């Protein structure tokens, strides 16, 4: 009985962790003395993952069923199966969240970060484990997940990373948009109405909140003393 109770507790903790949607995100202050040192600066973004739509009940059922049948490994398998079937088909009516963040950051950084250097934009998507570009500093934007809980709304995370010419990370910040913090809970039915008009408004709002967090973090970084 004790083992069973421990198993159930572990399973509930696993489900709670999954429903939270993300692990700890990067939070590294800017390491250089001056903003203008990061030049020349090139920005690129990774391809945005496709939208996922899920319900708490469906996710919990998948995890619990897998756990009961196979054990803890089955719980993980149940999650992976549910995660796979939650992926939505590409939809031209839905805005690209990664592009929204990138465009907003390009527009706002030069106005809101003192001495922010001019940036060249890379047209192609960034690639994981690409060769180090030793001709410039690089700034990359990566969206982790774009998820919608059918009963509560959008949940999305993104990370911005600056590396120097040797590939060392000199600034990195992750941000998770949670609609609860902004009193913007809604349903998937409401978000997808009128050709996803509300969803696009929510994506734009989340992107703006994300860029605000990135800029505030950079401006509040404690630079090393001369």
Give pTM, 2 decimals: 0.80
Cβ count within 10 A of residue 173: 23
User: Cα–Cα distances in Å, from 28 out to 25, 38, 74, 161, 191?
Assistant: 10, 16, 36, 9, 34
Structural domain that includes position 74 = 56-87
Closest to 78 measured CA to CA, from 92, 67, 90? 67
pLDDT, tens digit, 9 for 90 and up, residues 121-166: 998 999 888 888 889 999 999 999 899 998 999 999 999 999 999 9
Same domain (yes/no): 97, 81: no
Task: For residues 72 and 74, give the distance between their C-alpha atoms in angstroms, rounded to a whole number.
Answer: 5
Same domain (yes/no): 163, 127: yes
Same domain (yes/no): 170, 71: no
What is the pLDDT, as a whole number, of residue 86? 67
Number of domains in the chain: 2
Asked whether 135 and 40 are in contact (CB, 8 A), the reply is yes
Positions in the chain whose pLDDT score sits under 50: 1-22, 57-82, 224-226
Contacts of 144 (CB under 8 A, 6+ apart): 22, 49, 156, 157, 158, 159, 174
Same domain (yes/no): 43, 119: yes
Q: What angle do CA 181, 171, 107 make, to 5 degrees?
A: 65
Checking DSSP bridges between strand 52-54 and strand 41-45, what pairing results, if any?
A: unpaired
């Amino acid at each position: 009985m004790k083992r069973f109770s421990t198993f159930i507790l572990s399973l509930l903790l696993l489900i709670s962790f999954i429903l939270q949607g993300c692990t700890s995100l990067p939070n590294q202050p800017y390491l250089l003395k001056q903003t203008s040192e990061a030049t020349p600066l090139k920005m690129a973004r990774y391809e945005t993952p496709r939208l996922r739509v899920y319900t708490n009940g469906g996710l919990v059922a998948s995890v619990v069923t897998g756990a009961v049948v196979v054990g803890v490994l089955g719980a993980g398998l149940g999650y992976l199966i549910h995660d796979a079937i939650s992926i939505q088909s590409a939809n031209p009516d839905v805005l690209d969240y990664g592009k929204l963040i990138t465009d907003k950051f390009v527009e706002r950084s030069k106005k809101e970060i003192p001495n922010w250097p001019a940036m060249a934009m890379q047209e192609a998507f960034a690639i994981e484990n690409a060769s180090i570009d030793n001709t410039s500093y690089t700034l990359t934007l990566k969206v982790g997940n774009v998820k919608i809980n059918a009963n509560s709304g959008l949940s999305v995370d993104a990370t911005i990373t600056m590396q120097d010419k040797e590939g060392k990370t000199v600034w990195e910040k992750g941000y998770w948009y949670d609609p609860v913090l902004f009193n913007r809970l809604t349903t998937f039915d409401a978000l997808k109405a009128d050709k996803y008009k509300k969803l696009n408004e929510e994506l734009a709002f989340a992107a703006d909140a994300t860029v605000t967090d990135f800029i505030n973090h950079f401006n509040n970084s404690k630079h090393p003393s001369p």
